[in-house]
Amino acid sequence: SQKIEQNSEALNIQEGKTATLTCNYTNYSPAYLQWYRQDPGRGPVFLLLIRENEKEKRKERLKVTFDTTLKQSLFHITASQPADSATYLCALRVYGGSQGNLIFGKGTKLSVKP
Amino acid sequence: GAVVSQHPSWVICKSGTSVKIECRSLDFQATTMFWYRQFPKQSLMLMATSNEGSKATYEQGVEKDKFLINHASLTLSTLTVTSAHPEDSSFYICSALTGGSTDTQYFGPGTRLTVL
């Protein structure tokens, strides 16, 4: 069956450390993968998109890797801050899917302690 | 980034009434918009895809007569929950495609619907 899983429901880290979130998928052929941030009671906010032929993308303190052999994406936040506390969602866009149709994981709730 | 707004941000209604939620792309034209529903601690579930000027495409299990979608212009899509029941209480989120090579979806802030 097709699945997209984010490694843990919650992740607690200390301020200044690097947070690493994992997204694994099975039985999908993704065209690209996106990461979003969602705060409580709010809609997701787009962070980064990485295509199947890209290994790594960076944006300020954020870094995303994409390994289509392992069927895994890693999302890193370096020098984490309490303001980074939120739920982070990964989403796949698959080949053959309806245009723009994203398949979302359940998210990982990140808490950064001061 | 592109901005998508939703109105209202929250609504409480009585069972059996209808509720309309608006989704607007503020600084770009969106030929395609999407409606999602999210239950607590669950992932976003796509309800329907809305293309300007044509009928919406509904996902399996979503009742098109209950969730009416209208995409009358390139910047506005509406979702009407008809004859709402308590089980329709959820967080409804719209998104819009910017198009082009990046094909990125930008999401609205969501609407919390509570049906009493």
pLDDT digits (tens, 9 = 90+) for A25-76: 988 888 889 999 999 989 999 999 999 899 999 999 999 999 999 999 999 9
CA angle (B34 as vertex; B37, A4 as ends), nearest 5: 60
Which residue in the set A43, A49, A101 is minimally distant from B93, CB to CB?
A: A43
A46, closest residue in chain B (CA to CA): B106
The closest CB to that of B106, out of A46, A101, A107, belongs to A46
pLDDT > 60? residue A97: no
Secondary structure class of A79 (helix, strand, coil): coil
| Nearest chain B alpha carbon to A44 | B107
- A102/B102 Cβ within 8 A: no
Task: Give residue A30's pLDDT.
Answer: 81
Look at B93 and A106 and tell me if their CB atoms are within 8 Å: no
To which residue do tokens 């998210």 refer?
Answer: A107
CA dist A36 and A89 (Å) reads: 5
Average pLDDT (B65-81) is 93
User: Residue B7 above 80 pLDDT?
Assistant: yes
Q: Cβ distance A17 to A80 under 8 Å?
A: yes
Distance CA B41, CA A18 (A): 24
